Amino acid sequence: MKKDIILVIGSCGQIGTELTAGLREKYGTLNVIGADKFTDLTDDGPYHQLDVLNMGALADLVRREKVTQIYLLAAMLSASGERNIHAAWQLNMDGLLNVLKVAAAQRLDKVFWPSSIAVFGPSSAKHLCPQEPQSEPNTVYGISKRAGEYWCKYYFEKHNVDVRSIRFPGLISYATKPGGGTTDYAVHIFHEALEKGQYDCFLKEDASLPMMYMKDAVRATLQLMDAPKEKLRIRTSYNLSATNFAPCDLSAEIKKHLPDFTISYNPDYRQAIAEAWPASINDLYARQDWNWEPQFSMQMIVTDMLLNLKKKKEKIKEPQLVHDFPDFPESNSLTTMYY
C-alpha cells in the first residue's frame, strides 16, 4: 500500500498551525511536510520554505518528497485583500492554479483547498444560506474564492483531480494571532480582554456572523478528506456551520469569566463586508454526505480560548535558557497573509 505523504502549504497560518498538528498526529510526524514563507522557524517535523507562486519550486518539492496529498492554505484574507487587491488576486488564484496543475501532472491522490462564506454577497440569503445561493461576492477575497471553487470543480471533472473544499465561516483559534479577516474580531477580542481588559470592535454590536472553533474546523477537514469519493456530491465547496453570534453576544459571554471587561464599538470598512455575508448557513449536504456535526458552542469556545490563552501567556513569561521566541509568526509584508 502506498504511503501517504502530505504537504501543507501555509502551515504557519491560522488554519495551518493546528491542521498540520492534527495531520501529524494521524499520519505520523515525518509523513506531513510543513511549507510556508518563513525561514527561521523551529518546527516539530519536516519543513520547507516555499512560495506557492513559484510553480517550479512547488513541482520540484512535490516530486522530490513523493507527496501524495496537498493541503493549500495560503491566501490573503478579506480585509487585507481590500487593501492589496492585485496581490490578493495573484496569491489566491495563481497559488490555487499552481497546485491544481501540479496535482494533475503528478497524479496526486487528493487536494484540500478552503473556500469561505465570503463567496456570498448582499443578494444571498441572510439566514440558513443554502448550498447554491445567489452569489455576488463584493470583495477580492470573495471573488477569488468563488472563482476558485469552479476551478476545483473543473479540475475534478476534466483532469480527475480529487480536490475537496469547505466554505469556512469565521474561525477562532488560540494558536495564532488574527490574520486579516473580517471575522478576526472574534480572535482579537480575547487577546485584548486578557491584556487590556477592553476591546474596541471594528464591527457593530449586532453584526451576527457564522463562526467556528478551530478544533471543529480541523476535525471537519479530516472528516471530509477521509470520506469515500463516491459519497461527495459537492465539487465546488461544502457549506459548513457550527454557531452564530454577534460581538455583543461574545463580549457578554467573556464578561462572565472576566467581569471587568468592557467593549466599545467603532465600525470601519469591515462592517460593510460583514453586512454582505449571511448570519447563518445551511450545511445539510455536509451533514448528509460525510456526517458533519459541530462540537463547540459559543460558550465552550469562550471557556477554551481563555483557558489556553492564559496558559500561553504564562509560558511566554517563563525564562528561557537561550532564546524567548514568540509563539506567533508575524509577517513583515502587507502583500502576503495566510489562513
Q: Which residues are catalytic?
A: 141
Backbone angles phi, psi at 219, to 5 degrees: -65, -40
The C-alpha cell 484540500 sits at 112
Cβ within 8 Å of residue 157, ≥6 positions away = 235
HEC secondary structure over the chain:
CCCCCEEEECCCCHHHHHHHHHHHHHHCHHHEEEEECCCCCCCCCCEEECCCCCHHHHHHHHHHHCCCEEEECECCCHHHHHHCHHHHHHHHHHHHHHHHHHHHHCCCCEEEEEEEHHHCCCCCCCCCECCCCCCCCCCHHHHHHHHHHHHHHHHHHHHCCCEEEEEECEEECCCCCCCCCHHHHHHHHHHHHHHCCEEEECCCCCCCEEEEEHHHHHHHHHHHHHCCHHHCCCCCCEECCCEEECHHHHHHHHHHHCCCCEEEECCCHHHHHHHCCCCCECCHHHHHHHCCCCCCCHHHHHHHHHHHHHHHHHHHHCCCCCCCCCCCCCCCCCCCCEC
